[in-house]
Structure 1
Amino acid sequence: MESKSGLEQYLDNVCGEVKAKKMHAEIHSELSSHLEDLMIEQESLGASQAEAEVLAIAQMGDPKAVGKDLHHIHKPRTPWGLLGALLLFSAIGLLGMSSLEASFMNNPRVPSSFLPKQFSFMLIGIALMAACYFINFRRLQKLSWLLYIFSIAGIIASLKWGLYANGSRTYFLAFGGIVINLVSYSPYIVLVALAGIFSKFKADGKLGTKRNLLPELFILLGPAAAYIIAGPIPVLLLYLVCSLILYTWLSGAWLRSTLIGGFFLAAGLRYAWNNQQMRDRILGAINYNINPESSGFVYKTLNEVIASAGWSGHGFGAEFERLSYAYSDMLPAYLIYCFGWGGGLVLLGVVLWFMFKLFFSVHAVKDDYGKSVIIALSLILAMGLFYGLLVLSGKMILTYLPFPFMSYGGHVIIEYAALGLLMGIYRRKDLTPAEHESRTIRGAL
C-alpha cells in the first residue's frame, strides 16, 4: 500500500476535524486548489517540488486549527431569532386565552375551555415542529408529486366524507378528538409540493419555457380549481397569491404570472360585485356608516373597541362581548382592548421581527430547493400575520384567516410544523455541499 503524500495527509487531518462529512469532498477540493497555488508560488521563487510542498503546508497553518475553524463554519445553525419570535407569539396567545378564561368566569353561559385546548394544540405542534426540524428536507423533494396529489385528494375527500361544522363540510376528526380542517391546512402542503416540482423543472431547464407552459398552468391551477369547488374563498386567495409569487421567483415569468393573477382578480371582483352579501361586506369595510346597523356594524364596533382601549387598555380579564370570535379572528383586537395600544405595539414589534428573520433565512440558504421551500412557507405565514394586522385597521374585509401561532384552533399545529421545517432547512444550510465562494475556506485560515 502506497503511503499518502504530505498534502493528502494534511487534507485528511483537516477534514478529520469537520463533522459535516458531506462537506469533506468540497473542503478537500478547495484546500487542494489553494495548496497548489501556494506551491506554484514557492516553485517560482526557486524551491524544489518537495520544498514547495513543505512550505505550502506550513503557510496554510496547523491542520487541526484549520479543521476546527472549518467545523465552526460547517455546523448546524439554530435560528434563534425565529425560535424566540415563536416563543413570544405563543406566550402572547396563551396570555390572551388566559384573559378570556378570566372574563368568562363571570359568565356561566360561556364555556371556559379555550386555554387547556389551546395548550394541547401547542404541545402537539411542538412535537411536530421538532420532528420537522430534524428531517432531511432534501428527501421531501422526491415526495413532491405525492404531496401534491395527496393534498388535492384530501380536499376532494373532505367534501364527500368530511364532518359538517361552521357551515362547511371540510373537517375531519383526528386523534384525541381534535377536529382539523383539511382544506384550510392544505396550502402549506401544496406550496411545499410546488417548491419541489418547480425546483426540479428549473434544474432541468424547463421552468418558464413555452414548451412547458401547459404543464405548469395545469400544476398551478389544479389546486385553485379544487379550492373553488370546496368553496373557501380566503384559502383560494391565500393559495393564489403565495403560489404565483413562488412561481414568479423561480421561473422569472412575471408576465405569465401577472396575466393569471389579473384573470383571477377580475373574475373575483365580478363575482363579489354580483353577490349582494359580499358587496355589502366590501362596502361596510370601506365605510361602515353606509350600513352602520348591518354590514357595517362589525367594522364600526371594531373601530370603537380599538379607540376605547387607550394606551393602558381595560386590564387582564376584561369582558369582551361586543365582538364575536374574540378567541380566534378577533384575538389581536381583544389583546389591544385588554392591554392597550402599548400592547398592540409590542405585538407589531414581534410580527416585524419575525418577518425580518424570515427574510434573513431566505437569503442565508443557498440550496435552491431549500430556499424555495422557505419562500413558500414564509409567504403563507407572513400573509396570515399581515392580514391579522390589517384587520385591526377596521378597513379589512373580515373573513376566516386565523392569526398564526396565537389565535385559538388546531391551525397552530400545522403552523408549528411548517416553522419547524423552515428552521430545519436553515439548520442544515452549512452541512451540505453548495456553491461556496473560495473566500469561505480562506476566511477560516
Structure 2
Amino acid sequence: MRPVEEYKVVQDFLARVCKQVRARAMHPEIREELLGHIEERTELLMLEGNAEEPAVQEAVKQMGDPGDIGKSLHLAHRPQMDWKLLVLLALLSIVGLIGSLTVDYADTEFVAGFFIRKAFFFGIGLILLISFYFLDYRKLKKYSGVLFFITLCLMALTLIRGVDVNGLKIFLVFGPIAVPMLGVTSVFLLLIALAGMKPASQWGPWESAFHILYRGVLPIVLYSLSGSMVYMFIYLLGFLVLTWTTKKSSKQFALLVMLPFIGLAYILFLKRFYIMWRLEGLADREGDGGYFMRVIADAVSSAGWFGQGFAAPNPGIPYVYSDSIYPYLIYCFGWMFGILVGMVVLLFLARMWSIANVLHDSYGKNIVIGVIVVLGLRLLIPIIMGLGVVPIVSLDFPFISYGGVNNMLDIAIVGLLLSIYRRKNMIPSEVGEAAPMKVA
C-alpha cells in the first residue's frame, strides 16, 4: 500500500469513485491512476509548507466530487456497440437476401427454395451473433490449446470419414448438418485458437521447432490432402500474420516460417500441372480451361450500368448461388450495383481494421487480425474473380452467397468481433499502453 493510501480520506474517495464504475476489472487501474494524481498534488502542497495530513486532505478535495468522477469514468468504461460494423453487416446481408431471391426467381437449376433457406440460416446466424455479443470472449483463451487440438482431430477425421463433393473431401457430416471442417470452419477455429496460445516471442529453440510443425506444417498437410488449396493458403497467411505479430525478432520470424514455406513449395510442385492449367485458363479464355472465365466475363461486360433486370436468366454462369453470385448480381443489376457492393466490402474491412487498432488487449487484437485475414480474402477474392483478374476457385462470398454453416459461422464471427469491441474500454490496458486519465 502506498503511504498516501493509508489515509482514510483517500480510501473513502477511491471507494466512492469505484462504486460508480460497473466495470470491476478497471477498478485497480482507476485506483492506481487516481492515487498517482493525489500523490502529485500532495507533494506540491507539502513543498508549499503544508504538513502531510493536511496536504493529503487538500489534495483529495482538489480532485473534485468522487461521485461525479465515478460517473464520468463509468461512461468511459461502459459497454460499447459498434453500430458501424453492424450496419455494414446488415447491408451485406440484405444484398445476400436480394441475391437469393433473384436466383430463386431466375429458376436456376438445383437451387429451388434458395431464399427460404438463406433466410433460415440468416436467422440462426443472428441468434448466434447476439449470443456471442454478450459472451465474454476472454473466457475462450484458456481453451485455446484444446480448441486447436480438437480442430486438428476433426480435420483428420474428415479425411477418413468425410463426404466427397466435387473432388474435395472437406465436409464432415453430423446428422443432417454437413460442416466444412476442412474449409472455412477449421480456418476460423484454428486462427482463434492461435490467438490465445503461447506467443512466438516466448518460444525456446526446441519449442519453436515443435510449434512450427504442430501449428504450421500439420494443418497445411491436412488441407492439401483434402484438396482444399484455397483454405490452405488462407490458413497459411493467417498463421504467418499471427506469428509476425507475436514474434521475438525479424530473424526469429524468418526461421519460423522457413519450414511451412518449404512444405508449401513441395505441395505446389505436386499440384503444378493443375495450377498451370488454371493459369492457362486465365491467359487463354478461348481454351477449355478458360470456359468459366469467358462466360463470366461476357455476363459482366453485357450488364451495363444498370443490368439486365431482376432475375434475368443466364444459364451459362456456373454456381450462381455460391462462387459466381457476384458476377451474376452484376449481370442482373449492373456495374453500379457491383461498385456499391465493392465499396461496402471495403468499408467493412476498414471497420474491422479500425477495431483492431483501438484494442489494448493483445488476445482480442489477435482474434480480430485473424478474422480480418479470413474474411478479407473471402470477401475480396470473389470480387476480383468476378472481374476476371484471378482464376476461378471454389470460394463462397461471405454473407451474400449460399452456404448454411458458412453463413451462420460468418455472422457468429461478427458477433465475436462485437463482443471484443464491446469490452474495449472495460479491460485494463496492458503494461505500457495505459492512457492518461483526465480528472478535474
TM-score, normalization: structure 2? 0.91
Tell me the alpha carbon deviations over residues 179-224 of structure 1, each in whole angstroms, 9 at most, x when there is no partner.
Answer: 322211211101111121133x54xx32xx5343212212221211
Is 1:270 aligned with 2:266?
A: no
Is 1:226 aligned with 2:222?
A: yes
Aligned residue among 402, 413, 425 for 1:418: 413
Q: Residue 436 of structure 1: CA displacement?
A: 7.5
Q: Judging changes above 3 Å, is the alpha-carbon distance between structure 1 residues 25 and 127 closer, same or farther for their aligned structure 2 residues?
A: same
Cα contact 1:18–1:74 (8 A) shared by 2 = yes
Q: Residue 262 of structure 1: CA displacement?
A: 4.2
Residue of structure 2 in register with 1:322 after alignment: 316
Decide which moves more: 353-362 or 210-219.
210-219
Q: 3-state DSSP class of the match of 2:331?
A: helix
Q: 3-state DSSP class of the match of 1:408?
A: coil
Counterparts of 1:257 and 1:398, CA distance in 2? 32
Q: Judging changes above 3 Å, is the alpha-carbon distance between structure 1 residues 260 and 314 closer, same or farther for their aligned structure 2 residues?
A: farther
Residue of structure 2 in register with 1:249 after alignment: 245
Pairing of 1:339-354 with structure 2 (within 5 A):
339-354=333-348
**Residue type of the partner of 2:237?**
V
Counterparts of 1:40 and 1:278, CA distance in 2? 72
Cα contact 1:224–1:236 (8 A) shared by 2 = yes
Q: Judging changes above 3 Å, is the alpha-carbon distance between structure 1 residues 312 and 438 closer, same or farther for their aligned structure 2 residues?
A: closer
Counterparts of 1:103 and 1:164, CA distance in 2? 28
Q: 3-state DSSP class of the match of 1:412?
A: helix
Cα contact 2:212–2:259 (8 A) shared by 1 = no
Cα contact 2:63–2:439 (8 A) shared by 1 = no
Tell me the alpha carbon deviations over residues 274-314 of structure 1, each in whole angstroms, 9 at most, x when there is no partner.
Answer: x2x4422211113314x1xx111111121111111111111
Aligned residue among 59, 63, 66 for 1:60: 63
**Residue type of the partner of 2:162?**
G
Cα contact 2:191–2:239 (8 A) shared by 1 = yes
Q: Give every structure 1 segment of 4 or more consecutive aligned residues whose post-TM-superposition deviation is greater than 6 Å.
A: 436-439
Counterparts of 1:417 and 1:224, CA distance in 2? 25
Tell me the alpha carbon deviations over residues 159-193 of structure 1, each in whole angstroms, 9 at most, x when there is no partner.
Answer: 22233444344323446x33322211211101111
Residue of structure 2 in register with 1:281 after alignment: 278
Aligned residue among 298, 301, 305 for 2:295: 301
TM-score, normalization: structure 1? 0.90
Residue of structure 1 in register with 2:54 after alignment: 51
Q: Judging changes above 3 Å, is the alpha-carbon distance between structure 1 residues 225 and 120 closer, same or farther for their aligned structure 2 residues?
A: same
Q: 3-state DSSP class of the match of 2:208?
A: helix
**Residue type of the partner of 1:423?**
L
Q: Judging changes above 3 Å, is the alpha-carbon distance between structure 1 residues 442 and 168 closer, same or farther for their aligned structure 2 residues?
A: closer
Q: 3-state DSSP class of the match of 2:106?
A: helix
Cα contact 2:277–2:289 (8 A) shared by 1 = yes
Q: Judging changes above 3 Å, is the alpha-carbon distance between structure 1 residues 438 and 152 closer, same or farther for their aligned structure 2 residues?
A: closer
Is 1:155 aligned with 2:158?
A: no
Cα contact 2:212–2:256 (8 A) shared by 1 = no
Is 1:25 aligned with 2:28?
A: yes
Q: 3-state DSSP class of the match of 1:398?
A: coil
Counterparts of 1:257 and 1:137, CA distance in 2? 28
Cα contact 2:162–2:171 (8 A) shared by 1 = yes
Residue of structure 1 in register with 2:80 after alignment: 77
Q: Residue 14 of structure 1: CA displacement?
A: 0.8
Residue of structure 2 in register with 1:386 after alignment: 380
Counterparts of 2:218 and 2:432, CA distance in 1? 40
Q: Give me the CA root mean square deviation.
A: 2.2
Counterparts of 1:330 and 1:237, CA distance in 2? 20
Q: Residue 425 of structure 1: CA displacement?
A: 1.4
Tell me the alpha carbon deviations over residues 311-332 of structure 1, each in whole angstroms, 9 at most, x when there is no partner.
Answer: 1111212112121101101111
Pairing of 1:127-276 with structure 2 (within 5 A):
127-174=127-174, 177-184=176-183, 185-199=185-199, 202=201, 205-206=202-203, 209-219=204-214, 220-251=216-247, 252=249, 253-256=252-255, 259-260=258-259, 262-273=261-272, 275=273
Q: Residue 437 of structure 1: CA displacement?
A: 7.0
Aligned residues: 429
Counterparts of 1:67 and 1:157, CA distance in 2? 54
Residue of structure 1 in register with 2:3 after alignment: none
Counterparts of 1:322 and 1:56, CA distance in 2? 78
Counterparts of 2:263 and 2:341, CA distance in 1? 33
**Residue type of the partner of 1:427?**
R
**Residue type of the partner of 1:321?**
P
Aligned residue among 413, 428, 434 for 2:429: 434
Q: Residue 123 of structure 1: CA displacement?
A: 1.4
Cα contact 1:285–1:396 (8 A) shared by 2 = yes
**Residue type of the partner of 2:123?**
L
Counterparts of 2:436 and 2:66, CA distance in 1? 13
Identity among equivalent pairs (%):
29
Counterparts of 1:265 and 1:90, CA distance in 2? 35
Q: Residue 264 of structure 1: CA displacement?
A: 4.5
Query: Which residues of structure 2 form unaligned runs of 5+?
Result: 1-5
Q: Residue 381 of structure 1: CA displacement?
A: 0.8
Counterparts of 2:96 and 2:422, CA distance in 1? 26
Cα contact 1:13–1:64 (8 A) shared by 2 = yes
Q: 3-state DSSP class of the match of 1:309?
A: coil
Counterparts of 1:439 and 1:421, CA distance in 2? 24
Q: Residue 439 of structure 1: CA displacement?
A: 7.8
